[in-house]
A and B are shown apart, each in its own frame.
Chain A
């Protein structure tokens, strides 16, 4: 069976009596997908399940039609940069990456070439011949990323991949993820930096206590949260007059005026009607410089759906 998706079907995983994930059903399409949830919510468990490091207690998992029980096939199309901070003691950065590549069937020469390219992408060429055990935490993070991308996988699974990266490498890494996504590959990552997730993700999966709380494109997920009014920031010159006009609308629940009186924060229960109201106001001759949705981001979704402390 061939498939372009990563599919979880009714997957549960318990560690003894401790819940890992419970009855997870997911269809992850190509693109950048972020797993978001508090510590212990099950993000890493999902990643470990899809790469075969752990086995589900029930349910099934398919990665591009391949079973995680067959690493010899799965890992040819998958690269996983784990959060496990240890590396074999014997390995230099170069050996760490080339040993893996030789197991993929590359010759020593080709493996070194590819390893060098991967290490270059994560800015680690200078330390390539040093022992990984002596690397800093950030360098170990980068060498794991290099190993995950070295064989050019179709599915890249990354547990907190941007931790410990300096701004330049971080930007280059995000560019790499975007390139992968543009090529129709999967980049599945977890991150606790919600702004970052917001910036790079095509879709998000919100997970809490081992259960999937929401999944899909950020805008789509936001639309489905009806109990929280949508928030918009309006930049305008005549803020007080526009505020009084909007108050007449039934769907508007709250308006806050900026201190500079050049902007408004509007809470509405109906995005369509809000849009129409703004059009009427603009046609009436009031100047509106811009309208920005302020809670169509992972931060807001997290707050609405999960709340509490963030991972």
Chain B
């Protein structure tokens, strides 16, 4: 039996793909995949709105120039600071027992030795505390005074690009790749055959003069196009939502340096995730009726990937996808178990990851093409 695809069959596959795209994009059963795809974007937009509200609140309390804020140095008195910058956002004073203060900052023992005063006497002594907070439009600066002298200067940017990028890397690897694309592809690709079985419409395609493998290819193209647009687009929108508020010098510098490259690799990882998981769930839809079983098995397989021998690790979609991510995801160093589950087993190079992923996909699609030849229309058992 010939397995080579002819020009006519390419046209047939494209005709099928065009028809099936409606099912892939707009299936009522699968509209929830849009929620998964857009979650990072929505979360960051919500975060942006929250930051915007916070900025406005700080601005209402008082805005100080950047130069002035940067000019405050340790050892200055509160009066000198207020003289230069008379409109702090907050100014708060309180008293502490010196003992409490010493215990907190580790200077108690030293104080006792120097003064030789006993504990009772010390308890009666107090230290005058003051916190003056300024806002320069981007950063909140806390000045901590003890007995009127500036001891500490804490600077907190309202928007922290570095932090936002790290959090996005975590969301992308732990949520987007492992859950959103995984379950999204489950919804899109399993629906292509299993959904038609449930709708009792698969016979429509089986009664066409089309090789089953061509039908499989057409449906896979439709699913892959839909999943890539939804999840690749979702990744780009999410990344845009991360960068959008940082449109100043810092943001522009980042985009000029590595921003576009990162955006490309996030989108590429999402699309390649759809390529890999899509083939797996397309095959699962041919072989199994209940999507929960393959989903659970594959999720488990992907999760324990780090524990597997090196050869088996390469039979995982996630193994390759993590290697494509442009930034390392934050990891809790204090949870070795979590680290083992979430960390990439042994990251491959990007080119090797792409080749490996395509190879895994080709292998799974080959198995699916064997299965689709023997599939029968038996709606009564669905």
Contact B376 A54 (CB under 8 A): yes
What is the minimal beta-carbon distance from B221 to any residue of chain A, in angstroms? 15
Tell me how far the C-beta of A189 lies from the nearest C-beta in chain B, rounded to whole angstroms. 16
B interface, size bucket? 20 to 34
- Decide yes or no whether B126 CB sits under 8 A from chain A: no
**B204 lies within 8 A of chain A by Cβ:** yes
Closest Cβ of chain A: how far from B324's Cβ, in Å?
34
Q: Which residue of chain B is the closest to A151 with respect to CB atoms? A: B209
Q: Which residues on the A side are within 8 Å of B374 (C-beta)?
A: 55
Q: Does B15 contact A (CB under 8 A)?
A: yes
B8 within 8 A of A: yes
**Could you tell me the distance between the alpha carbons of A75 and B16 in the complex, rounded to whole angstroms?**
16
Contact B22 A53 (CB under 8 A): no
Contact of A51 with B209 in the complex, beta carbons under 8 Å:
no
Q: How far is the CB of A105 from chain B (nearest CB, A)?
A: 6
The residue of chain A having its C-beta at the shortest distance from the C-beta of B211 within the complex is A72
CA distance A104 to B374 in the complex (A): 22
| Nearest CB on A from B196, distance (A) | 8
A85 contacts the other chain (Cβ, under 8 Å)?
yes
Contact at A71–B203, with CB atoms within 8 Å? no
CB <8 Å contact, B19 and A71? no
Contact of A103 among B199, B208, B378 (CB under 8 A): B208
- Shortest CB–CB separation between residue A219 and chain B, in angstroms? 34
Contact B19 A90 (CB under 8 A): yes
Number of chain A interface residues as a range: 20 to 34
Question: Could you say which residues of chain B place their CB within 8 Å of the CB of A137?
Answer: none
With A55-B376, A71-B211, A71-B212 known to touch, is A99 a contact of B200 (CB < 8 Å)? no
A87 at the interface (CB under 8 A from B): yes
Q: Which of B204, B206, B211, B377 contacts A88 (CB 8 A)?
A: B204
- Interface pairs A-B: 10 shortest CB-CB: A75-B209, A86-B200, A53-B377, A54-B376, A90-B22, A76-B209, A103-B208, A72-B211, A86-B201, A88-B201
Known contacts A54-B376, A87-B204; 15 further A-B pairs (Cβ under 8 A): A52-B206, A53-B206, A53-B207, A54-B377, A71-B206, A71-B210, A71-B212, A75-B209, A75-B210, A84-B377, A88-B19, A100-B208, A103-B15, A104-B208, A105-B8
> What are 6 A-B pairs with beta-carbon distances under 8 A?
A15-B378, A53-B377, A70-B211, A71-B211, A82-B203, A103-B209
Residues of chain B having any CB pair with chain A under 8 Å: 1, 8, 11-12, 15-16, 19, 22-23, 199-201, 203-204, 206-212, 214, 373-374, 376-379, 381
